[in-house]
Each structure stands twice: as structure tokens, then as C-alpha cells.
Amino acid sequence: MNAYEEPKTMTRVKEQPPRQEITITGFGGQGIVLAGRILGKAAVLGDHKQSTLVQSYGPEARGGACSAQVIISEGPIHYPYVRHPDILVSMSQTGFDKFIDQLKEGGTLLIDQDLVQPQSIEGDFFSIPSTRIAEELGRKMMANIIMLGFFTAITGAVSVKAARDSVVSSVPKGTEEMNSKAFNKGYDYAVALLKGREKKAKGRAGA
């Protein structure tokens, strides 16, 4: 396994609510459902919580909007569908347009910077050029794993170790290291982003 060290600063240790509902959206081929599965596995196998996954390919399946609904909970989950997610992850504009109204008030929004224009929304959101970074790493299809790293650092809904282990055990044999690297990229990006926000808030955007 990759001997990646946790950054010493700015790891988010946030009190997690007992139950979180997450919707991940994008278009077919981006690995949206895989991302949902990795997330659920991380919560169950790594963090010893309970989790459900509902995947939906709309009628416009191939290349159209698709989504994964994940619930992570400390207690039993009686109803697996997500109606008002606490966290919405959007990797496509159609996915965003379709689900943004469902996001809970005060919920967390994560988007791919280049693929989603978050118009007409109020409040804060977190964006990462995950597809661009994946292209720089040489594999566009790893954007979902980068997004997972980003998600993990920003939300803390799953622990880093659980998430990374889950990535490694879910991707095809032989690609573990690459995916682990992709995960770290997303994670580091989030840490840098949070650090930058903190600095900006203190009025220190430059060196």
C-alpha cells in the first residue's frame, strides 16, 4: 500500500452527525456508481457504520445523467432512498440542474469546477477540477476517485483510511497505486483549498 503520509496541518476533524445522506451525480461513464459503492464500503468495512446504496440510471442512461444515493448511518437504515441529501456531489451540469433543488438547506455542495456552472445558488460550495487533474495524471476516468479524495477531506463523512482502503480494494487489479495517487491528489487539493480559505478569511491571500 502507498506509504502516503497524512498532511500534518488542516485535516478536518469535524463532529459527524449520526446519519448522512449523500447524492452523487454525473453522466454515464464517469464512474458515479462506483464512487457511491466505494463510499458505502468505506463506511461499512472501514468505519463500521451502516450504509445503503441506490443507483439510478435515468432513461437517458448512456452518457445521460445518472446518480448514486448513499446513506451512512450509525444505526439501522429503514429507507434507502435519498430525498434531501446533506451532501450533493455534482460532476455534470445536467446532474447539478436536476438535483440541486433537493439539497438540504445548509447542505454541502461539491462540484467539478470545469463541468458544472453553479448558477443561481446562494451560499458556499467546494469545487475541484477533478477531470482536468485526472487528465494530467493520464486517465480521465479517474476523476471519480479524485472527487472521492476531495469529498473525504472536505466532508469527513468517511475516514481517510477507510476511504483509501476502499478505493484500493474496489478498483481493477494493477491500477491500485494509480488510483491511490488519484485519491491523494483530490485529498491534497481539498486540504490546500481549505488552507487557502482560512488564509483568505484572515486577509492573507498572498505570500
Partner 1 sequence: MGMGRGLKGLMKKGHGDMADFSIILFLCNWGPHAAFQALQDSATQIPPEIKMVRIPCSGRISKALLFKPFEMGADGVAMVGCETGTCRYATGSSTAQKNVEHTRAILHLLGLGEDRLRLKTFMPEDSEPLLQFLRGFCDEIKAIGKSPVVPSPEAEPPSQALELTKEVVAAHDIYACQDCGKCSSACSLTLVGKPFSPRAIASNIISGNIDSADVEKDIWSCLACGLCYDRCPSAVNFPEFIKDMRYILKKDGSRGYLAHGGFFQSLMRTMTPKDLKVNHWDWLPDDIQVDPQSKTLFFGGCAPYFDIFFKGFLGVQTSDILVDSLKLLNFFDIFPLLLEDERCCGHDLLWSGDKENFLKLARLNVDAIHRLGVEELITACPECYRAYTHDYPQQGVKVNFKVTHIFDLLEGEISKGAVGFKPFDRRLTFQDPCRLSRLENRPELPRRLISRLKPIEFNEMQDRGGGAICCGNSAWTGCDSYSKALQVKRIRQAHSTGSDLLVTACPKCQIHLQCAMEDPFLGEELNMDMMDLTSVLAKTINWE
Residue found under cell 439510478: 56
Question: Which window, 20-28, 34-42, 71-79, 198-206, contacts partner 1 (CB under 8 A)?
Answer: 198-206
Q: Min. distance of Cβ 189 from partner 1 in angstroms?
A: 4
Q: Min. distance of Cβ 147 from partner 1 in angstroms?
A: 13
Site membership for partner 1, residue 110 (CB under 8 A):
no
Site membership for partner 1, residue 191 (CB under 8 A):
yes
Identify residues 118-177 at the interface with partner 1 (CB under 8 A): 128-129, 133
* Binding-site string for partner 1 from residue 171 to residue 190, where x marks contact by CB under 8 A and - marks none: --------------x--xx-
Measured CA to CA, the distance from residue 154 to residue 63 in angstroms comes to: 28
Tell me whether residue 65 or residue 128 sits nearer to partner 1 (CB atom).
128
Site membership for partner 1, residue 205 (CB under 8 A):
yes
User: DSSP 3-state assignment of 31?
Assistant: coil
Tell me whether residue 77 or residue 178 sits nearer to partner 1 (CB atom).
178
Q: Min. distance of Cβ 194 from partner 1 in angstroms?
A: 8
Tell me whether residue 70 or residue 163 sits nearer to partner 1 (CB atom).
163
* Helix-helix angle 130-137:143-155, to 10 degrees: 130
CB distance 125 to 111 below 8 Å: yes
Burial class (CB in 10 A: 0-12, 13-18, 19+), 11: middle
Q: Min. distance of Cβ 20 from partner 1 in angstroms?
A: 25
Site membership for partner 1, residue 12 (CB under 8 A):
no
Burial class (CB in 10 A: 0-12, 13-18, 19+), 170: middle
Q: Convert 68-85 to b/e letters by CB count within 10 Å (16 or more is b).
A: bbbbbbeeeeeeeebeeb
Tell me whether residue 80 or residue 196 sits nearer to partner 1 (CB atom).
196
**DSSP string covering 131-149:** HHHHHHHT-GGGHHHHHHH
CB distance 22 to 82 below 8 Å: yes
Site membership for partner 1, residue 192 (CB under 8 A):
yes
Chain residues in the site for partner 1 (CB under 8 A): 9-10, 128-129, 133, 185, 188-189, 191-193, 195-197, 199-200, 205-207
